[in-house]
Amino acid sequence: MSERCCDTLPPMIGSWRSPVAARRTAPLAARGSAPVAAGRSAPVAARRSAIATVLACACLAALAGPAGAAALSKESIATFQAQLGGGQVHAVVFHEKVHKMHVALNDGRKFTILYGQSEQQRLFTEIQAKGVSVKIAKPKPAKKKTTVHHKLRYIAGGIVIVVIVVVVAVLLIDRRRKRRELGGAEPMPRPQ
């Protein structure tokens, strides 16, 4: 009786695998290399260790947080005035439109303070009296809305032209096919 390739394979549950796939997924111990953890095949073990490494890197990146995009914490005006009196404030930027100010302390911390419209002038004079750098942020100019009306016309015109070319090509091909069917029903014999 001849020995087939599937007779040499170990019994498998599920489906038949080729001898190449069986060698590829055989444990390293069976191939004469270093043993693999608890009967796992080498590619599966390598894949799992790669996935574990990627997940560990992703967790570390998530724990580290964004590199410089930390949100400013909010504080009250009373806390700010205490820090201003203690000489801890380095710089202040007023945003008049939204009635808030960004404060930078000498130790590098930054935070935001919301204030009422009537308090702006009083806060501004207090900060200047302490000799702290004060700036008033200029609102960014609104972007000009560019019209895309003419661009849309060109795009629509191009689409219409492409559709017309496709329809004409289909009609010509169909016409040629019908001519061949009507004119030459019998294939011509080949010369021998």
User: Looking at the domain assignment, is residue 30 inside a domain?
Assistant: yes
Pick the closest to residue 73 from 128, 113, 31, 127 (CA basis): 113
pLDDT averaged per 10 residues, the chain (length 192) = 51 53 54 51 66 68 55 84 90 89 91 88 89 87 74 90 95 89 64 67
Residues 35 and 13 placed together within one structural domain of the fold: yes
Q: How far apart are CA 25 and CA 10, in angstroms?
A: 12
**pLDDT for residue 32:** 52
**pLDDT for residue 163:** 96
Please report, for the domain that includes residue 108, its CATH number: 3.30.720.210
What is the model's pTM? Answer: 0.40
User: Looking at the domain assignment, is residue 90 inside a domain?
Assistant: yes
Helix (H) or strand (E) holding 135: strand 133-136
Structural contact between residues 132 and 92, judged by C-beta atoms closer than 8 angstroms: yes
- Tell me how far the alpha carbon of residue 19 is from its chain's centroid: 41
**pLDDT for residue 69:** 46
* Residue-number span of the structural domain to which 30 is assigned: 5-64
**pLDDT for residue 112:** 92
**pLDDT for residue 1:** 47
SS3 state at 120: helix
Residues 31 and 50 placed together within one structural domain of the fold: yes
Residues 83 and 45 placed together within one structural domain of the fold: no
Residues 95 and 126 placed together within one structural domain of the fold: yes
Which one of 19, 47, 64 terminates a domain?
64
User: Looking at the domain assignment, is residue 179 inside a domain?
Assistant: no
Domain count, the chain: 2
